[in-house]
Structure 1
Amino acid sequence: MAELDRGKPAASAASPIPLAYVVAALPPLFWAGNFLIARLMRDDIPPIQMSFWRWVLALAILLPFAWSSLRLDRSRLREEWAFLALLGAIGVTAFNCFIYTALHHTTVINAALVNSLLPVATILLARLLLGERIVPLRALGIAVSLMGAVLVIARGDLFALGNLMVGRGDILVVLGMSFWALYTVLVRRRPLGLKPLSLLGATTAFGIVFHLPFVLIEATQSRIFVPTLNSLPALVYFAVFPSILAYIFWNRSIATLGPATTGMFMHLMPIFSAILAAAFLGERLAWYHPVAFVVIVGGILLATRRPPSTPHPSHQKR
């Protein structure tokens, strides 16, 4: 079975790259909403149970659509169960539990700042685990887009970064971000015979199982949460957008653009967070939001730009 080129994106020159960029930009949009709602619901739903019920509901919604794919892929699922369990533990359980717990102890601004380091962590892990090259143009693009993300988080005042306090919540965000970077790199090596819905369904099921001991511990230390009509809209959003759709689009982007390039789109999260806050919380957009958007998009374009191909020696004139 042919394997993906580990050093290059899977998409060919003829592939619809603009559409691939749109697909890669949607997960950060959905996750920005996830951060916002999780922060708003922090007093109503304990963090581990928030993650658990999110994925239980996501699996219930996903299963009717994924059932035929799971049946067709059952032999491959049996062969790759250990790798799928690892993806579930990292990308479903660890990442979400750390992030939701962090949002009970830190601000969205601090969480966004730490999460903006994800592309750097992804590129380093892709280099270590997949052997992907870090070309100068990509490194420059990462630096430029990171500057745009920091501009939003600092609210246009870069000196304000020195006043950000690092606490327990920020450390938890670092741990969650690290697990997501590892998931982003490992999913590139997913079994090629698996359909996208099979991959998501299997990893979700494993992730739910891995949640159980932590749910029991949290329930004994705080309280047992039972979904209500008031919490249902938030749980439905958690299940559909940052879970099912975001994971499908993210996995697709990794296969198309590669883990390093896909990870760069996380720099859009601060922009999306500002837009959502303005739309739903009445917060005003400031001058630095459009400036940062241009800087971030410029950085992404730099990092994803293909260097001019060097003519093969046999085609050069002698």
Structure 2
Amino acid sequence: MPKIGNIQLPDFPLLLAPMEDVSDPPFRRLCKMHGADLMYSEFISSEGLIRDAIKSRQKLDIFDYERPVGIQIFGGDEEAMAMSAKIVETVQPDLVDINFGCPVKKVVSKGAGAGVLKDVDLMVRLTQAVIKSTSLPVTVKTRLGWDEESINIDEVAERLQDIGVQALTIHARTRSQMYKGHSDWTHIARIKDNPRITMPIFGNGDIDQPEKALEYKNKFGVDGIMIGRAAIGYPWIFNEIKHFFETGEHLAAPTMKDRIEAAKNHLIWSMEWKGERLGIVEMRRHYTNYFKGIHGFKAYRQKLVTTDGAEDVLKVFDEIADAYHDYIITEQ
């Protein structure tokens, strides 16, 4: 059973990826309800935290029912990373995670996220600065390397473990791949085969169905799997994978009632956490995912994304429930 510091995880944990504008407390709450074992905040800019940027501070909100939960930070400056780790410690998460994987240009151009993959010495110094300034376990999420010609995950894994990193999540793509092309987990398997590596290694990239999760677990020997985009609008994936591992059978797909309930809860919790207006507006991007492939749903989706006011949006959900009360979902 993998351990991170004093955190005892289940035999083969399923982790929810930290996703910008997605992995907030309302979404994490849904994923936790549906089987996620370890979750992370959206990634937080170390400079933003130190400047007291309100958006960065709000991302520090964690709740006891989410535990174990980690807060993920990123940045390219040692002092800022050390200070932000101290700020993070005040809200008492279970661990601090460092993002060395985000491929987005605005992050990379600041020498943060996947930008650090070009300079392993800097990555080590930034990580050391965080480890020295907190008593919490420190974990890292990264990619295989900057591009196909510079895959350096073997060196990265050894050097990070040597300075005290307690778990490593590897997104099996290079920075230059962004989110395109196929992830290549053979590199992760090689890290797992390295006798020097004793910390848990979690794999990330392209896991979107139970069969694939089981195949990758057996084939590449990882200690757990992190799921990102496949959970957006589909928090059921965690329990579906667990059920498949245990029984070799598929859980019944979520019904229309399940989907309506999940989307409605997501909205209600978003309004509670962000305030009514922001909760309604920011929830709009999720409806397509909750109701993907539902026949004739376009008009209702249009209503959901244009209706203002909590009461009115909830009325739209009632309309949807009436219209689809005997609708059978035939496939996932």
Is TM more than 0.5 here?
no
The structure where helix makes up a greater share of residues is 1
Q: Whose RCO is larger (CA < 8 A, sep 6+)? A: 1
